[in-house]
Chains A and B, each alone.
Chain A
Amino acid sequence: GIQVEQSPPDLILQEGANSTLRCNFSDSVNNLQWFHQNPWGQLINLFYIPSGTKQNGRLSATTVATERYSLLYISSSQTTDSGVYFCAVSSAGGTSYGKLTFGQGTILTVHP
């Protein structure tokens, strides 16, 4: 099946710093989503971005499908950004039923 690798595994920032999280995938995808899991375990969808660029406030994401990677940018980080960020994809071709394969996640800690 498709492989998903995220980097870095851990990231520690001071409030106000910017960061870039990366997601590499091994095959063509028809679905790519970024999620944030807060310290209480709730997973929230940040972006649905199989290709192109999107922005939502301080967060933006870019997926270069031809080169099989996606980037999540966090600007002016805040302590509430802490948590785990997951990239998840589904392989192009066939019917995926929305079935997603997740990377191992990036643990982000933002200190005040």
Chain B
Amino acid sequence: DVKVTQSSRYLVKRTGEKVFLECVQDMDHENMFWYRQDPGLGLRLIYFSYDVKMKEKGDIPEGYSVSREKKERFSLILESASTNQTSMYLCASSPPDLLIFEKLFFGSGTQLSVL
């Protein structure tokens, strides 16, 4: 069965800390994504990656960076956490763009609180 695993369900960090959110998928998917979800705003794309060591900015990349050293793992990094980065973070993966069966599979999310 399809599985996208996020390392933490809940995280509490201090302002200014460096934060790592980890995501692993076991489906050999090329594409991986990081979204954040805020009430009333839906999901907004932060970064995505379509191959190892490749990354593209999404709609709201400011304050974030990513790393994809292996195909199965995609990390989101908050270089210096701020209170406005308190949010639910969702990782997702999908097969390559040209496949007919093009679905997005999500992890269960990380609720990050920055104090």
A interface with B by C-beta (< 8 Å): 1, 4, 31, 33, 35, 40-45, 48, 86, 88, 95-105
- B side interface size, CB within 8 A: 30
Q: Which residues of A contact B88 (CB under 8 A)?
A: 41
Given A101-B45, A102-B42, A104-B42, A43 contacting B106 (CB threshold 8 A)? yes
Given A42-B106, A45-B103, A102 contacting B48 (CB threshold 8 A)? no
From residue 10 to 55 of chain B, which have CB atoms closer than 8 A to chain A? 31, 33, 35, 40-45, 48, 50
Interface centre among B95, B106, B111 (most CB of A within 10 A): B106
Interchain CA distance A4-B42 in the complex, whole Å: 10
Query: Closest approach, in angstroms, between the C-beta of B54 and any C-beta of chain A?
Result: 10
Sample 22 A-B pairs with CB under 8 A, ordered by A number. A4-B42, A31-B102, A41-B109, A42-B106, A43-B92, A44-B106, A48-B101, A86-B43, A95-B97, A96-B97, A97-B56, A98-B33, A98-B94, A98-B104, A99-B48, A100-B45, A102-B35, A102-B42, A102-B44, A104-B40, A104-B42, A105-B42
Q: Are B108 and A102 in contact (CB under 8 A)?
A: no
Query: Closest approach, in angstroms, between the C-beta of B89 and any C-beta of chain A?
Result: 11
Q: Are A43 and B90 in contact (CB under 8 A)?
A: yes
Kindly supply a per-residue 1/0 record for chain B positions 71-95, scoring 1 wherever the CB is within 8 Å of any chain A CB and 0 otherwise.
Answer: 0000000000000000010101011
Q: Are B40 and A98 in contact (CB under 8 A)?
A: no
Query: Closest approach, in angstroms, between the C-beta of A54 and any C-beta of chain B?
Result: 13
Interface centre among B45, B102, B106 (most CB of A within 10 A): B102
Query: Closest approach, in angstroms, between the C-beta of B28 and any C-beta of chain A?
Result: 15
B64 within 8 A of A: no
Q: Which residues of B contact A103 (CB under 8 A)?
A: 42
Interchain CA distance A98-B35 in the complex, whole Å: 13
